[in-house]
Structure 1
């Protein structure tokens, strides 16, 4: 079946993040020789950049490696909410890991919020920072009860919150829970200042430099795709999915989800605040200023990567929501993002294993990477500098919290097996010659499953649909023009090149003329 929908002309043709479009980030060279540093950081998102800043500030010689362009990944596609209200999580955390550990999770994210606020004030960064209240609201009786449970958890943890029965949106709700004094900002305008600080302190930043492995030792060595090596006392893996898993088996311990965003010019006034629904599919809303004009940033429609409906329809669903409550005049931007969730909903931050103490990771932020990513930075900086940190055990990558983890491990891996088998059995009778421009589909060549995409110039691109990670079959993502793996979240361009891991190798390409003439 061809997964393409062009019936709604109000959506921009191209997926493009406003955050990335609105700034001109400085470029950095590719690493082309072996170097030695105190710390090498892999991954140029909020965690990598902030960690580079803090470690350089502490006097260490650092190198930051980014496989693409700085801040071009999940950080450049965020909602940019600075908040410890991560949906409905605290009641569940108390059930799963106890009050003391749930309190630590809140404190870590609250401290991250304060760090961002203080850093902005210290450098006088013009990044559209504003203090906001965060609201999670219920529109059903079932979700009303969940919000009430969350309010009780707030009370148990001493979180400043208020339970109310209405919100300042044209939306009937059963109740809502407010977390006071949270914030929003322009994440790239904030982080580009930290990038400048890193370079001024002598830090080395390299783009288009893909790390592929780590050679363990007293001084671990990061190996890159183009053979250049970085030797360091510590390696910090802040890439979206850890390029180096060691014995962590993170492919089995996390799952990838995509979510969608639109920026819309609307007809009604947008209230102050950070709003998110208690129900799925998620609806998240905040205002955003573009060239002095207030617009609505509407986010949601999360699903496991490679397992959504025709992906363009997720944008239509957000548009319908926005039209109902605010009246949409036009849509200026649309984009999607991917994030990873761990078995117990808590990020993996710290030493990858006790036997490999100089390799650290930070991943699994569950879509709340602005504060979780900053909390990761504060923890990792302490560990590298040999300081004690009270959050080390909570976020330790080698932990195993049995109550949530056993159940989720079984569920997630059963889902992987289901899609592995389903993909192998799925064949298609579509003739690639019938594809229109800018359409992709699953086809068959000599009875074998392949993928085809016809570009705007009429050229057909054929790929083998078997993911190079663990062999699942990828699916076409019409909204982003990518091939997405439903098992572990790897994504590939329409030409088969890796867009997101854990896959490291591209999909096999085929010459159309050799198979169809």
Structure 2
């Protein structure tokens, strides 16, 4: 990124993740014919690429179908912590699922960490992998007490950790819980190396190839938006939101959450370690080498997609925090990330529908995709090869724990229903004439709710605000210049193209003829 679009130390005008910069990423063609392979993998992030790597190593013919560009989804927008410390969760897991399953979750994620380290060592991958202790810190008595309880859960589960009363930079804390010997890395450097190995072993990779459905059977076939078909013995759904839900009803069992990240050149040096706050709003910290210079990745400010305040305010809150704790010399990148959270906080990995062993799914990583995505790939390999895996029952999508799953299921779907109704009742007073260049908003045209964005050249882009998934009304995301759905987290560009599912079709656009026919009184021109 150049520094020409902002003043030094100010937020970059355009959101852009760091990870893809300075990397010579391979490019792949769009699929334009029918093919047959052993395993069809939909999604080109950490789960899909690791799965392809593992299965190609087993001699299977694999094909990866990526709707956009490889590594440009959630994997390309991560903080890239490789850890089993996923917030304060282990006491909760003991209470809701029992000690043995809580321990299995820890072991699964530690095995994923070990796998990544071994793979890096085996192939001598230069991906900035470094061992770091991970800290959850509390700034209030309420969360300090929760960390004390979580420490007891660590003891019950045999987790290597301890409580400390300070962290090595300027935040006044009550206590912090450390999980020893975790790690961080550069995910794109790591996965780009795996892509090369997949190619060498005969794996097929296609970009700009959108999977839209599956014809089930002994040899399931993935159907693409352009008409090409890919048939295999197994299909792995590794896309962020499942492109095909079967009878799993995943839309009703997860919700989408966004968070925000700054890459900051700080005045004070970073002392090492990885940190996340127990208190809300979340603050996440780690270092990263950006073009040979150490910077601090400062993240947090999570909220449900399409809900809440102006999203630029979340970036500004992180900017204020950065200045207070480290001092800002420059903010080099800003970006946001989206992840899906299941009703019991454990990902869904396994048969998409019980009794359908040749269509497997992985989703709902709750912002911890570097380990959980690797867990999914390892589990997929064993299921396809018909090997026993200790974590299969833990992650199976068919599970349902009466408490708190039922309560969370009802709460989340009540939230969806409320937003579905609310959006239909709102008729904004704003019109297109009110917009400045670079501004977007929901407006009213001829008594109908529409979405408008005026680009930096003054061109107006108008879309229908009805999400093409189940019909909720999207909201404008000012920080990322997108239209976001508050019901299930679908996201669209300002021109209406799908960025994130579950929506598969773009928002309806108003062409220039339609706009020209609108009266200036109605349209605000």
Instruction: State the partner residue of 2:47.
Output: 47
Q: Secondary structure at the match of 1:443?
A: strand
2:385 & 2:518 partners in 1: Cα distance?
58
Instruction: State the partner residue of 2:355.
Output: 355
Q: CA deviation at 1:430?
A: 1.5
Following superposition, which runs of at least 4 residues in structure 1 exceed 3 angstroms of deviation? 6-9
Q: CA deviation at 1:433?
A: 1.9
Instruction: State the partner residue of 2:435.
Output: 435
Q: Does 1:514 find its partner at 2:514?
A: no
1:391 & 1:69 partners in 2: Cα distance?
31
2:250 & 2:278 partners in 1: Cα distance?
28
Instruction: State the partner residue of 2:60.
Output: 60
Q: CA deviation at 1:88?
A: 0.6
Q: Secondary structure at the match of 1:155?
A: helix
Instruction: State the partner residue of 1:142.
Output: 142
Superposed counterparts of 1:126-165, under 5 Å? 126-165=126-165
* Cα shift readout 1:140-194 (whole Å, capped 9, x = no counterpart): 0100011111100100000000111111111110000000000111000000000
Q: Does 1:270 find its partner at 2:264?
A: no
* Cα shift readout 1:239-277 (whole Å, capped 9, x = no counterpart): 000000000000000000000000011111111000000
Superposed counterparts of 1:203-282, under 5 Å? 203-282=203-282
Instruction: State the partner residue of 2:125.
Output: 125
Instruction: State the partner residue of 2:306.
Output: 306
Instruction: State the partner residue of 2:496.
Output: 496
Q: Secondary structure at the match of 1:20?
A: coil
Q: Does 1:69 find its partner at 2:83?
A: no
List gaps (5 residues or longer) in structure 1: 1-5
8 Å CA contact 2:222, 2:230 repeated in 1: yes
2:227 & 2:119 partners in 1: Cα distance?
37
Superposed counterparts of 1:439-450, under 5 Å? 439-450=439-450
1:94 & 1:250 partners in 2: Cα distance?
25
Instruction: State the partner residue of 1:333.
Output: 333
2:30 & 2:162 partners in 1: Cα distance?
50
Q: CA deviation at 1:336?
A: 0.2
Superposed counterparts of 1:356-505, under 5 Å? 356-505=356-505
* Cα shift readout 1:185-242 (whole Å, capped 9, x = no counterpart): 1000000000000000000000000000000011000000000000100000000000
Q: Secondary structure at the match of 1:403?
A: helix
Q: Secondary structure at the match of 1:21?
A: coil
Q: TM-score, normalised by structure 1?
A: 0.98
1:288 & 1:265 partners in 2: Cα distance?
10
Q: CA deviation at 1:8?
A: 11
Q: CA deviation at 1:9?
A: 7.8
1:122 & 1:283 partners in 2: Cα distance?
34
1:87 & 1:9 partners in 2: Cα distance?
30
8 Å CA contact 2:267, 2:329 repeated in 1: yes
Instruction: State the partner residue of 2:523.
Output: none
1:170 & 1:447 partners in 2: Cα distance?
53
Q: Secondary structure at the match of 1:19?
A: coil
2:308 & 2:207 partners in 1: Cα distance?
32
Residues 464/162 of structure 1: CA separation in 2 closer, same or farther (3 Å cut): same
Q: CA deviation at 1:22?
A: 2.7
Aligned residues: 512
1:193 & 1:497 partners in 2: Cα distance?
30
Q: Secondary structure at the match of 1:145?
A: helix
Most deviating of 502-511 and 195-204: 502-511
2:519 & 2:324 partners in 1: Cα distance?
48
Q: Does 1:91 find its partner at 2:94?
A: no
Residues 194/449 of structure 1: CA separation in 2 closer, same or farther (3 Å cut): same
RMSD: 1.2
1:420 & 1:130 partners in 2: Cα distance?
45
1:22 & 1:93 partners in 2: Cα distance?
40
Instruction: State the partner residue of 2:81.
Output: 81
Instruction: State the partner residue of 2:109.
Output: 109
Q: Secondary structure at the match of 1:18?
A: coil
Q: Secondary structure at the match of 1:214?
A: strand
Instruction: State the partner residue of 1:3.
Output: none
1:342 & 1:424 partners in 2: Cα distance?
27
